[in-house]
Amino acid sequence: MSAPRTSARTKDLMLLLSWRRFRPWVRGFLLALAIGLPMAGWGQAQGDDPAAINARAREHLRVGRLDQARDATLKLIAVKPESGDAWFLLGQVYDRRGEQREALDAWRRALDYLPTGDLRRVQARDGVAQRVRALEEHRAPRGFAPRSLWQRWRPRGWSAWLGALFAALVLSRIGYVAVQDRLRDAADRRRAFEAEASGR
């Protein structure tokens, strides 16, 4: 369909070129314009076509080239920022890379753009729910309440304050490890702390 339209444009421009009143540099410019316009559209269609970028990103993800998959998906998002499919794919890439917080953010963005009945929306919602549960389960308290520690252990005198100080140090270490995305280590430390606190 574009070939007849292009040839018609070229014919019109060639008719203009046949006029003697144009200088040679104007004829050259019009000829370059006649040739360059269709080629510019072809180049854009090949390089920035969202379907082609999406296919490349999915292929990189399928074979395990996660860096290239991330780069291609980010390029797809730059071309189509409101594509729920692109954000869902970015969440999958980050999930495979082990970057849980980034995957969570990407899936939340996918939920904003995917249609209501789309299966990927359900998968993104489930992925978000699983990641939130995992992060909430291993999130350390942001401080300590000496009163709650007092009620929990019921120690006497200085040992209460030493216990509270020890608990604060342990909980801050758990939080530091959890922030570094070492969730398994943080969970082990928290279980050890809970076991010690309950006297087991």
**Same domain as 177, residue 131:** no
Domain that holds residue 54: 50-137
CA dihedral of 123, 126, 130, 136, whole degrees rounded to 10: 130
Q: pLDDT tens digits, the chain, 200 residues: what are they?
A: 445 555 666 666 666 556 555 566 666 666 666 666 555 555 444 556 888 888 898 899 889 898 999 999 999 999 888 888 888 889 889 988 888 788 888 888 887 877 776 677 777 777 777 766 666 655 544 444 444 544 554 545 555 555 655 666 565 555 554 545 555 666 666 777 777 777 65
**Final residue of a structural domain among 110, 137, 164:** 137
Predicted local distance difference test score (pLDDT) of residue 95 = 84
The CATH number covering residue 57 comes to 1.25.40.10
* Alpha carbons 170 and 190: distance in angstroms, whole number: 8
- Whether the full predicted model's pTM is greater than 0.85, yes or no, is no
Kindly provide the b/e burial profile for residues 122-153, where b requires at least 16 CB atoms within 10 angstroms of the residue's own CB: ebbeebbeebeeeeeebebeeebeeeebeeeb
pLDDT at site 122: 74
Residue 150 has a pLDDT of 45
Does one domain contain both 151 and 129? Answer: no
Tally of domains in the chain: 3
d(CA 177, CA 187): 9
The verdict on 117 and 176 lying in the same domain is no
